[in-house]
Amino acid sequence: MSLNNYIDLRSDTLTIPTSTMREAMANAIVGDDVFGEDPTINKLQEMAAERVGQEAGLFVSSGTMGNLVAMLTHCQRGDEMIVGDQAHIYIYEAGSSAAVGGIHPRSVPNQADGTLKIEDIKAVIRSQDDHFPITRLITLENTHNRMGGTVLTPAYTRAVAEFAHGHAIKLHIDGARIFNAAVALNVDVKQLTQDADSVTFCLSKGLGAPVGSVLCGSREFIRLARRRRKMIGGGMRQGGILAAAGIVALEQMVDRLREDHANACLLAEGIAGIPGLRVNIATVQSNMVYFELEPDVPFDATELCRRAGQHRVKVLPTGPRRIRAVTHCWVTREEIAEAVQALGQCVNE
Ligand SMILES: Cc1ncc(COP(=O)(O)O)c(C=O)c1O
Protein backbone atom coordinates (compact mmCIF):
# COMPACT_ATOMS: atom_id res chain seq x y z
CA MET A 1 0.00 0.00 0.00
CA SER A 2 2.88 2.37 0.65
CA LEU A 3 4.04 5.11 -1.75
CA ASN A 4 7.44 4.44 -3.39
CA ASN A 5 8.28 2.03 -0.60
CA TYR A 6 7.83 4.65 2.10
CA ILE A 7 5.14 5.07 4.72
CA ASP A 8 4.71 8.64 3.55
CA LEU A 9 2.89 10.73 6.13
CA ARG A 10 4.10 14.16 5.04
CA SER A 11 0.77 15.11 3.43
CA ASP A 12 -2.49 13.79 2.03
CA THR A 13 -1.60 15.62 -1.20
CA LEU A 14 0.81 12.75 -1.91
CA THR A 15 -2.04 10.37 -2.63
CA ILE A 16 -2.01 8.91 -6.11
CA PRO A 17 -5.16 8.09 -8.12
CA THR A 18 -6.85 4.74 -7.53
CA SER A 19 -7.23 2.26 -10.39
CA THR A 20 -10.94 3.17 -10.64
CA MET A 21 -9.94 6.81 -11.10
CA ARG A 22 -7.40 5.93 -13.77
CA GLU A 23 -10.02 3.90 -15.63
CA ALA A 24 -12.57 6.74 -15.38
CA MET A 25 -9.94 9.16 -16.69
CA ALA A 26 -9.12 6.95 -19.64
CA ASN A 27 -12.78 6.65 -20.59
CA ALA A 28 -13.91 10.22 -19.84
CA ILE A 29 -16.12 11.94 -22.41
CA VAL A 30 -14.63 15.39 -22.88
CA GLY A 31 -15.18 18.69 -24.67
CA ASP A 32 -13.96 22.28 -24.54
CA ASP A 33 -14.78 23.57 -21.09
CA VAL A 34 -14.08 27.20 -22.00
CA PHE A 35 -17.12 26.77 -24.27
CA GLY A 36 -18.88 25.06 -21.33
CA GLU A 37 -18.94 21.86 -23.39
CA ASP A 38 -17.08 19.33 -21.28
CA PRO A 39 -19.82 16.98 -20.02
CA THR A 40 -17.58 15.42 -17.38
CA ILE A 41 -16.60 18.79 -15.89
CA ASN A 42 -20.24 19.88 -16.00
CA LYS A 43 -21.25 16.71 -14.16
CA LEU A 44 -18.57 17.19 -11.49
CA GLN A 45 -19.56 20.82 -10.97
CA GLU A 46 -23.23 19.89 -10.55
CA MET A 47 -22.43 17.04 -8.18
CA ALA A 48 -20.12 19.25 -6.12
CA ALA A 49 -22.63 22.09 -5.80
CA GLU A 50 -25.39 19.68 -4.82
CA ARG A 51 -23.17 18.03 -2.19
CA VAL A 52 -22.30 21.32 -0.48
CA GLY A 53 -25.78 22.87 -0.75
CA GLN A 54 -24.86 25.63 -3.19
CA GLU A 55 -26.36 26.44 -6.61
CA ALA A 56 -23.33 26.06 -8.86
CA GLY A 57 -19.72 24.91 -9.00
CA LEU A 58 -16.54 25.77 -10.88
CA PHE A 59 -13.72 23.29 -11.46
CA VAL A 60 -10.32 24.86 -10.73
CA SER A 61 -6.81 23.51 -10.83
CA SER A 62 -6.07 23.82 -7.11
CA GLY A 63 -7.30 24.95 -3.71
CA THR A 64 -5.11 28.03 -4.05
CA MET A 65 -6.77 28.94 -7.35
CA GLY A 66 -10.24 28.34 -5.88
CA ASN A 67 -9.52 30.61 -2.93
CA LEU A 68 -8.02 33.30 -5.17
CA VAL A 69 -10.94 33.23 -7.62
CA ALA A 70 -13.34 33.50 -4.65
CA MET A 71 -11.46 36.49 -3.21
CA LEU A 72 -11.32 38.19 -6.61
CA THR A 73 -15.05 37.64 -7.08
CA HIS A 74 -16.15 38.87 -3.66
CA CYS A 75 -13.78 41.85 -3.43
CA GLN A 76 -12.73 44.88 -5.47
CA ARG A 77 -9.17 46.23 -5.39
CA GLY A 78 -8.63 48.12 -2.14
CA ASP A 79 -11.23 46.11 -0.22
CA GLU A 80 -10.28 44.32 2.96
CA MET A 81 -10.80 40.72 4.01
CA ILE A 82 -10.62 39.31 7.53
CA VAL A 83 -8.59 36.13 7.77
CA GLY A 84 -7.09 33.96 10.52
CA ASP A 85 -3.43 34.62 11.28
CA GLN A 86 -2.72 30.89 10.84
CA ALA A 87 -4.87 30.45 7.73
CA HIS A 88 -3.55 28.74 4.63
CA ILE A 89 -4.80 31.73 2.61
CA TYR A 90 -2.79 34.09 4.81
CA ILE A 91 0.42 32.09 5.12
CA TYR A 92 0.80 29.66 2.24
CA GLU A 93 -0.75 31.22 -0.88
CA ALA A 94 2.09 33.55 -1.85
CA GLY A 95 0.19 36.63 -0.75
CA SER A 96 -2.16 36.14 -3.70
CA SER A 97 -5.02 38.29 -2.37
CA ALA A 98 -2.74 41.34 -2.24
CA ALA A 99 -0.43 40.47 -5.13
CA VAL A 100 -3.11 39.61 -7.68
CA GLY A 101 -6.29 41.12 -6.28
CA GLY A 102 -5.14 44.28 -4.49
CA ILE A 103 -7.13 42.92 -1.54
CA HIS A 104 -5.87 43.95 1.90
CA PRO A 105 -5.73 41.01 4.34
CA ARG A 106 -6.54 41.89 7.97
CA SER A 107 -5.59 39.03 10.27
CA VAL A 108 -7.15 38.08 13.59
CA PRO A 109 -5.79 35.33 15.87
CA ASN A 110 -6.78 31.76 15.17
CA GLN A 111 -7.79 30.01 18.37
CA ALA A 112 -6.38 26.57 19.20
CA ASP A 113 -9.53 24.96 17.77
CA GLY A 114 -9.16 26.76 14.41
CA THR A 115 -11.95 29.27 15.07
CA LEU A 116 -11.81 33.06 14.94
CA LYS A 117 -13.53 34.74 17.90
CA ILE A 118 -16.53 36.69 16.69
CA GLU A 119 -15.58 39.55 19.03
CA ASP A 120 -12.14 39.66 17.39
CA ILE A 121 -13.77 39.85 13.96
CA LYS A 122 -16.14 42.55 15.20
CA ALA A 123 -13.23 44.59 16.56
CA VAL A 124 -11.57 44.88 13.15
CA ILE A 125 -14.59 45.61 10.94
CA ARG A 126 -14.03 49.03 9.41
CA SER A 127 -16.44 51.86 10.01
CA GLN A 128 -17.56 54.02 7.09
CA ASP A 129 -14.75 56.50 6.69
CA ASP A 130 -12.82 57.52 3.59
CA HIS A 131 -9.57 56.73 5.39
CA PHE A 132 -10.39 53.03 5.61
CA PRO A 133 -10.66 50.15 3.19
CA ILE A 134 -14.08 48.51 3.03
CA THR A 135 -14.43 45.22 4.93
CA ARG A 136 -15.89 42.92 2.30
CA LEU A 137 -15.07 39.33 3.21
CA ILE A 138 -14.40 36.94 6.09
CA THR A 139 -12.64 33.65 5.39
CA LEU A 140 -12.70 30.52 7.57
CA GLU A 141 -10.73 27.29 7.12
CA ASN A 142 -12.25 23.86 7.79
CA THR A 143 -10.50 21.61 8.71
CA HIS A 144 -7.82 23.97 9.94
CA ASN A 145 -4.43 22.81 8.71
CA ARG A 146 -1.95 24.70 10.91
CA MET A 147 -4.10 24.32 14.03
CA GLY A 148 -3.84 20.54 13.68
CA GLY A 149 -6.65 19.49 11.33
CA THR A 150 -9.19 20.86 13.79
CA VAL A 151 -12.85 20.87 12.85
CA LEU A 152 -15.25 23.84 12.80
CA THR A 153 -18.85 22.91 13.70
CA PRO A 154 -22.10 23.74 11.89
CA ALA A 155 -23.18 25.95 14.82
CA TYR A 156 -19.98 28.00 14.69
CA THR A 157 -20.10 28.32 10.90
CA ARG A 158 -23.72 29.46 11.04
CA ALA A 159 -22.91 31.99 13.77
CA VAL A 160 -20.09 33.52 11.69
CA ALA A 161 -22.28 33.56 8.55
CA GLU A 162 -25.10 35.31 10.41
CA PHE A 163 -22.68 37.79 11.90
CA ALA A 164 -21.07 38.47 8.50
CA HIS A 165 -24.38 38.91 6.70
CA GLY A 166 -25.62 41.20 9.49
CA HIS A 167 -22.72 43.49 8.57
CA ALA A 168 -23.14 43.13 4.77
CA ILE A 169 -19.93 41.06 4.63
CA LYS A 170 -19.52 37.84 2.63
CA LEU A 171 -18.23 34.56 4.06
CA HIS A 172 -15.86 32.28 2.13
CA ILE A 173 -14.84 28.89 3.49
CA ASP A 174 -11.50 27.40 2.53
CA GLY A 175 -12.79 23.87 2.84
CA ALA A 176 -9.78 22.15 1.34
CA ARG A 177 -10.59 19.27 3.72
CA ILE A 178 -14.27 20.02 4.43
CA PHE A 179 -15.24 16.37 3.85
CA ASN A 180 -12.81 15.37 6.60
CA ALA A 181 -14.67 17.81 8.87
CA ALA A 182 -18.08 16.41 7.89
CA VAL A 183 -16.96 12.82 8.46
CA ALA A 184 -15.31 13.72 11.78
CA LEU A 185 -18.51 15.40 12.99
CA ASN A 186 -20.74 12.77 11.40
CA VAL A 187 -22.85 15.46 9.71
CA ASP A 188 -23.93 16.12 6.13
CA VAL A 189 -21.27 18.39 4.63
CA LYS A 190 -24.06 20.84 3.67
CA GLN A 191 -24.36 21.80 7.32
CA LEU A 192 -20.81 23.14 7.14
CA THR A 193 -21.13 24.93 3.81
CA GLN A 194 -24.66 26.03 2.92
CA ASP A 195 -24.60 29.17 5.08
CA ALA A 196 -21.44 30.51 3.42
CA ASP A 197 -21.40 32.64 0.26
CA SER A 198 -18.72 30.45 -1.27
CA VAL A 199 -16.69 27.35 -0.46
CA THR A 200 -13.67 25.71 -2.03
CA PHE A 201 -12.90 22.05 -1.47
CA CYS A 202 -10.05 19.92 -2.78
CA LEU A 203 -10.35 16.65 -4.65
CA SER A 204 -6.59 16.16 -4.61
CA LYS A 205 -5.97 15.68 -0.89
CA GLY A 206 -7.61 12.97 1.22
CA LEU A 207 -10.08 12.25 -1.60
CA GLY A 208 -7.20 10.98 -3.70
CA ALA A 209 -7.78 12.61 -7.11
CA PRO A 210 -4.63 13.71 -8.94
CA VAL A 211 -5.63 17.34 -9.60
CA GLY A 212 -8.40 19.77 -8.86
CA SER A 213 -10.68 21.62 -6.51
CA VAL A 214 -14.21 22.93 -6.87
CA LEU A 215 -15.38 26.43 -5.95
CA CYS A 216 -19.10 26.53 -5.18
CA GLY A 217 -21.55 29.38 -4.62
CA SER A 218 -24.69 30.97 -6.04
CA ARG A 219 -25.31 30.78 -9.79
CA GLU A 220 -24.52 34.48 -10.17
CA PHE A 221 -21.36 34.20 -8.05
CA ILE A 222 -20.08 31.31 -10.19
CA ARG A 223 -20.90 33.23 -13.41
CA LEU A 224 -18.63 36.04 -12.20
CA ALA A 225 -16.05 33.60 -10.84
CA ARG A 226 -15.73 31.93 -14.28
CA ARG A 227 -14.54 35.26 -15.66
CA ARG A 228 -11.96 35.66 -12.83
CA ARG A 229 -10.74 32.10 -13.44
CA LYS A 230 -10.29 32.92 -17.14
CA MET A 231 -8.43 36.12 -16.23
CA ILE A 232 -5.80 34.20 -14.26
CA GLY A 233 -5.38 31.58 -16.94
CA GLY A 234 -7.45 28.86 -15.31
CA GLY A 235 -9.83 28.12 -18.18
CA MET A 236 -9.32 24.45 -18.98
CA ARG A 237 -10.13 22.77 -22.27
CA GLN A 238 -10.62 18.97 -22.15
CA GLY A 239 -10.22 19.00 -18.38
CA GLY A 240 -12.87 16.31 -18.07
CA ILE A 241 -9.97 13.83 -18.00
CA LEU A 242 -9.19 15.30 -14.56
CA ALA A 243 -12.80 15.86 -13.52
CA ALA A 244 -13.50 12.15 -14.12
CA ALA A 245 -11.17 11.29 -11.25
CA GLY A 246 -12.88 13.97 -9.15
CA ILE A 247 -16.25 12.31 -9.69
CA VAL A 248 -14.85 8.98 -8.47
CA ALA A 249 -13.34 10.84 -5.50
CA LEU A 250 -16.73 12.21 -4.49
CA GLU A 251 -18.50 8.91 -5.07
CA GLN A 252 -16.03 6.52 -3.49
CA MET A 253 -13.53 8.30 -1.28
CA VAL A 254 -15.55 10.36 1.20
CA ASP A 255 -16.88 7.75 3.63
CA ARG A 256 -13.54 5.99 3.89
CA LEU A 257 -11.96 9.16 5.38
CA ARG A 258 -13.18 7.62 8.65
CA GLU A 259 -10.32 5.10 8.37
CA ASP A 260 -7.77 7.91 8.04
CA HIS A 261 -9.16 9.58 11.15
CA ALA A 262 -9.01 6.32 13.12
CA ASN A 263 -5.41 5.87 11.93
CA ALA A 264 -4.54 9.43 13.01
CA CYS A 265 -5.87 8.65 16.52
CA LEU A 266 -3.84 5.46 16.61
CA LEU A 267 -0.75 7.34 15.49
CA ALA A 268 -1.28 10.11 18.05
CA GLU A 269 -1.76 7.60 20.86
CA GLY A 270 1.40 5.79 19.78
CA ILE A 271 3.42 9.01 19.62
CA ALA A 272 2.08 10.08 23.03
CA GLY A 273 3.67 6.93 24.44
CA ILE A 274 7.16 7.71 23.07
CA PRO A 275 9.44 9.40 25.64
CA GLY A 276 10.85 12.56 24.03
CA LEU A 277 7.79 13.29 21.88
CA ARG A 278 4.77 15.35 22.87
CA VAL A 279 1.38 15.46 21.16
CA ASN A 280 -1.78 17.34 22.06
CA ILE A 281 -4.38 14.62 21.52
CA ALA A 282 -7.26 17.14 21.80
CA THR A 283 -6.32 18.67 18.44
CA VAL A 284 -6.27 15.31 16.66
CA GLN A 285 -9.77 15.55 15.21
CA SER A 286 -9.33 14.48 11.59
CA ASN A 287 -6.38 13.10 9.59
CA MET A 288 -3.53 15.22 10.98
CA VAL A 289 -1.15 14.70 13.87
CA TYR A 290 1.21 17.50 14.85
CA PHE A 291 3.80 16.59 17.47
CA GLU A 292 6.82 18.18 19.10
CA LEU A 293 10.22 17.19 20.41
CA GLU A 294 10.54 17.57 24.19
CA PRO A 295 13.12 20.23 25.18
CA ASP A 296 15.63 17.59 26.38
CA VAL A 297 15.83 15.84 22.98
CA PRO A 298 19.26 16.89 21.66
CA PHE A 299 18.33 17.29 17.96
CA ASP A 300 15.71 19.16 15.94
CA ALA A 301 12.67 18.30 13.82
CA THR A 302 14.66 18.13 10.57
CA GLU A 303 16.99 15.56 12.11
CA LEU A 304 14.08 13.49 13.41
CA CYS A 305 12.55 13.48 9.91
CA ARG A 306 15.89 12.46 8.39
CA ARG A 307 16.18 9.57 10.85
CA ALA A 308 12.58 8.53 10.18
CA GLY A 309 13.36 8.37 6.45
CA GLN A 310 16.02 5.78 7.18
CA HIS A 311 13.28 3.66 8.75
CA ARG A 312 11.03 3.92 5.64
CA VAL A 313 8.83 6.60 7.27
CA LYS A 314 8.43 10.16 5.98
CA VAL A 315 7.11 12.95 8.22
CA LEU A 316 7.32 16.70 7.71
CA PRO A 317 9.16 19.28 9.84
CA THR A 318 6.88 22.34 10.21
CA GLY A 319 8.93 24.24 12.79
CA PRO A 320 12.27 23.89 14.59
CA ARG A 321 10.80 21.26 16.92
CA ARG A 322 7.38 20.66 15.37
CA ILE A 323 6.53 17.81 13.00
CA ARG A 324 3.44 16.93 10.99
CA ALA A 325 2.08 13.52 10.04
CA VAL A 326 -1.03 13.18 7.87
CA THR A 327 -2.90 9.92 7.34
CA HIS A 328 -4.44 9.04 3.98
CA CYS A 329 -5.70 6.20 1.81
CA TRP A 330 -2.22 4.92 0.93
CA VAL A 331 -1.27 4.20 4.54
CA THR A 332 -2.72 1.15 6.30
CA ARG A 333 -3.39 0.58 9.99
CA GLU A 334 -0.47 -1.89 10.09
CA GLU A 335 1.84 0.74 8.62
CA ILE A 336 0.75 3.20 11.32
CA ALA A 337 1.93 0.72 13.95
CA GLU A 338 5.20 0.37 12.00
CA ALA A 339 5.57 4.17 11.86
CA VAL A 340 5.09 4.49 15.63
CA GLN A 341 7.75 1.88 16.24
CA ALA A 342 10.13 3.64 13.84
CA LEU A 343 9.60 7.05 15.46
CA GLY A 344 10.34 5.53 18.88
CA GLN A 345 13.63 4.16 17.54
CA CYS A 346 14.52 7.50 15.93
CA VAL A 347 14.26 9.38 19.22
CA ASN A 348 16.49 6.90 21.01
CA GLU A 349 19.19 6.31 18.38
C1 LIG B 1 -6.31 24.45 4.19
C2 LIG B 1 -5.76 24.50 2.81
N3 LIG B 1 -6.27 25.35 1.93
C4 LIG B 1 -5.83 25.43 0.67
C5 LIG B 1 -4.81 24.62 0.23
C6 LIG B 1 -4.30 24.79 -1.17
O7 LIG B 1 -4.54 23.71 -1.97
P8 LIG B 1 -3.62 23.46 -3.28
O9 LIG B 1 -2.36 22.86 -2.79
O10 LIG B 1 -4.48 22.55 -4.09
O11 LIG B 1 -3.41 24.78 -3.93
C12 LIG B 1 -4.23 23.71 1.11
C13 LIG B 1 -3.13 22.82 0.66
O14 LIG B 1 -2.55 22.08 1.40
C15 LIG B 1 -4.72 23.65 2.45
O16 LIG B 1 -4.18 22.82 3.35
pLDDT of residue 306: 98
pLDDT of residue 349: 83
C-alpha 182 to ligand 1 mean position (Å): 17
HEC states along the chain? CCECCEEECCCHHHCCCCHHHHHHHHHCCCCCHHHCCCHHHHHHHHHHHHHHCCCEEEEECCHHHHHHHHHHHHCCCCCEEEEECCCHHHHCCCCHHHHHHCCEEEEECECCCCCECHHHHHHHCCCCCCCCCCEEEEEEECCECCCCCECCCHHHHHHHHHHHHHCCCEEEEEECCHHHHHHHHCCCCHHHHCCCCEEEEECCCCCCCCCCEEEEECHHHHHHHHHHHHHCCCCCCCCHHHHHHHHHHHHHCCCCHHHHHHHHHHHHHHHHCCCCEEECHHHCCCCEEEEEECCCCCCCHHHHHHHHHHCCEECEECCCCEEEEECCCCCCHHHHHHHHHHHHHHHHC
User: Alpha carbon of 90 to those of 26, 95, 327, 329: distances in Å?
Assistant: 37, 7, 24, 28
C-alpha 97 to ligand 1 mean position (Å): 15
The closest residue, in CA terms, to atom 7 on ligand 1 is 63
pTM of the shown model? 0.97
pLDDT of residue 1: 60
Is pLDDT at 2 greater than 80 in this prediction?
Answer: no
Residue type, 346: C
Q: Which of 223, 252, 281 is the last residue of a domain?
A: 252
Tens digit of each residue's pLDDT (9 = 90 or more) over 320-349: 999 999 999 999 999 999 999 999 999 988
C-alpha 44 to ligand 1 mean position (Å): 19
What whole-number distance in Å separates Cα of residue 349 and Cα of residue 338? 16
Q: Which of 203, 229, 252 is the last residue of a domain?
A: 252
Same domain, 216 and 318: no
Mean pLDDT, range 309-315, rounded to an integer: 97
Mutation probe of ligand 1 site: the residue of 202, 213, 242, 328 with most atoms within 8 A of C-beta: 202
Reported as a pLDDT band with limits 50, 70 and 90, residue 260 is: very high
Mean pLDDT, range 142-150, rounded to an integer: 98
- Structural domain tally of the chain? 2
Which residue from 124, 227, 104 is spatially nearest to 95, judged by alpha carbons? Answer: 104
Reported as a pLDDT band with limits 50, 70 and 90, residue 3 is: confident
Same domain, 153 and 68: yes
Same domain, 227 and 331: no
The closest residue, in CA terms, to atom 5 on ligand 1 is 63
Same domain, 151 and 105: yes
C-alpha 93 to ligand 1 mean position (Å): 8
Give ligand 1 pocket residues (Cβ under 6 A).
13, 62-64, 88, 141, 145, 174, 176, 202, 204, 213
Reported as a pLDDT band with limits 50, 70 and 90, residue 209 is: very high
Domain that holds residue 340: 7-13+256-348
Same domain, 228 and 305: no
Q: Which of 236, 252, 268 is the last residue of a domain?
A: 252
Which ligand 1 atom is nearest residue 11's CA?
Answer: 14
